[in-house]
Structures are given as structure tokens and as C-alpha cells.
Amino acid sequence: MAATIIDGKAFAATVREKVAGHVDRLKTDHGVTPGLAVVLVGEDPASQVYVRSKGKMTREVGMKSVEHKLPATVDQGELLKLIDALNNDPEIHGILVQLPLPDHLDETRVVNAVSPAKDVDGFHISNVGLLGTGQKSMVPCTPLGCLMMLRDHHGDLTGMKAVVIGRSNIVGKPMAQLLLGDSCTVTIAHSRTRDLPEVVRRADIVVAAVGRPEMVPGDWIKEGATVIDVGINRIEIGEKTKLVGDVDFDSASERAGAITPVPGGVGPMTIACLLANTVTACCRANGLAEPEGLTA
């Protein structure tokens, strides 16, 4: 039986709709408009596309959108000065520094210069520590989107065996922490895990975030398992290119109970969760109840 397709594009639209509703209530009931500032350094074409898309969606849900575009040659001190100004701007509740940064900039220092309360990417070391110890934090957008889709599909995740393939600070590690928080039994695997196929075959939930095109074949997947494919890889087929995930979709969908496609799966959820995090940050800054269904 073919797997159920988890439509991330459609689910992201429902998340943005919820965000818009919360934004409207914040404006009407409290006179507060959530504000998101995005900082782009340089002229990287992919980053420019992402920033435009984020700005467009931010405005569509009724939030304040601010973009700061700096030259690739910007001095680190000047960038840190801008971040400090945004940290102290009461109309800005979320700050996102678009990565990657030019080589002459210290990415770790820049990320950790953002106020943890406004760190809607969830990359600040304070938020990483809070998440790792089960405390309230800002959660990285992609893992949060994966968790939302899993909760929507399964309801209660208690006791499920989950394998996260990939150990990055951006996806793999925070994904594992979120699944632990929902009482899953979690294994973090990676390309050097011994007998990786058998490890994956034991999982009720597989989150693939290793960054290798179609690395996970269908025969690694347990019958009926849920597969969340975070990978976005561009491969060449003849003279054309194609986007594929870290999972071989065709073979995996024959064994999985549910699976996310690439494209149209996890990707759209990332920006939706960025908007959700901004609303959450706004509510926390103003001592208001956090938006239901939009946080971990």
C-alpha cells in the first residue's frame, strides 16, 4: 500500500493562517504588532531569494517586516553594531541573520550576538542549552516544523521509536531533543553509524537530515513507519536538474505509512515556523500567553 503523503505546503498554509489570527488579536487586543528583522550580508542569490520570500510572508500575516542589506565587505564591528541596535528596538521581536556569512565574519560570534529572546532561528547557545535541558527556549524552525507535522499526523508520540539521521546543530540535535520532549525513544544516527540500515529499520519515525541525496533506500524503512525527509539536494539528470531528498522517495513510499515529499514537504514549514517563532517571541516580550499550537 502506498504511503500517505504528508503535504507540508498545505500544512504550512494552515500554520500561517493561525499566525495571522494571533497577529490580528495582538493588534486588536493589545496594540502590539510583532516585528521581524532580517539581516542579509552580501549578494548570494539563494540567500536573496530566501530573504524576499520571508519578507513577503511576514507582511502577508500582518507583521512588521524590516530588511537590512549589507555589502559582503561589511566590517564585523559594523554588523554587530546593527544587531545591538535591533536587540534594543522594542518594535522588533525577532532577528534573523541570513546564513552563510562571508568568510571574514565570525559566524558563531554573530549568531550569539543576537538577543536569545529575539533569536527566532533558535541558534543562540543559550537557546541550545535551554532546549537541551527541557526548558522554555526559542526552537530552530526546521525541527519545529517537523515536530508539528508529526504531532498532526500521529497525535501522541509517546513511546514511539525515532531515529534521526544527521547530527547537525541546526536540525539533527535539536530534532532529537524535541522528540525526547514528546516522550519518544530517540537514536541519533549518522553516516558513520555501524549497521545503519538495521538501526533505521527499528524506527517508527525516521527523520532524515544528513544532506546526501537519496541516501536512505526503501528497504531501510520499517513497514508503516513515518518518514520526515529534511534533505534538499539538487542532482543532475542529463541536462536537467532535479530536487531530491535524503530518502529515495519512490522505494520508501512503498513501505512507509506516511512520508514527506521533496519538494513540498519540510521546506515550506521552515518559513511558517519562523513566523510562528516571531509571534511567540512577541508574546513572551509582552508577558502574554504563548500562541497555542505554534510552539514546542
Active-site residue set: 54, 98, 121
- DSSP state letters, 84-141: HHHHT-TT--EEEE-SSPPTTS-HHHHHTTS-GGGBTT--SHHHHHHHHTT---PPPH
- The DSSP H or E segment spanning 240 is strand 240-244
Give 165's strand partners.
189, 208
Is the separation of the CB atoms in 296 and 144 below 8 Å?
A: yes
Give all strands of the β-sheet with 4-5 in edge-to-edge order.
Answer: 4-5, 258-259, 226-229, 205-208, 161-165, 185-189
Per this entry, what is the length of the chain?
296
Distance of alpha carbon 266 from alpha carbon 268, whole angstroms: 6
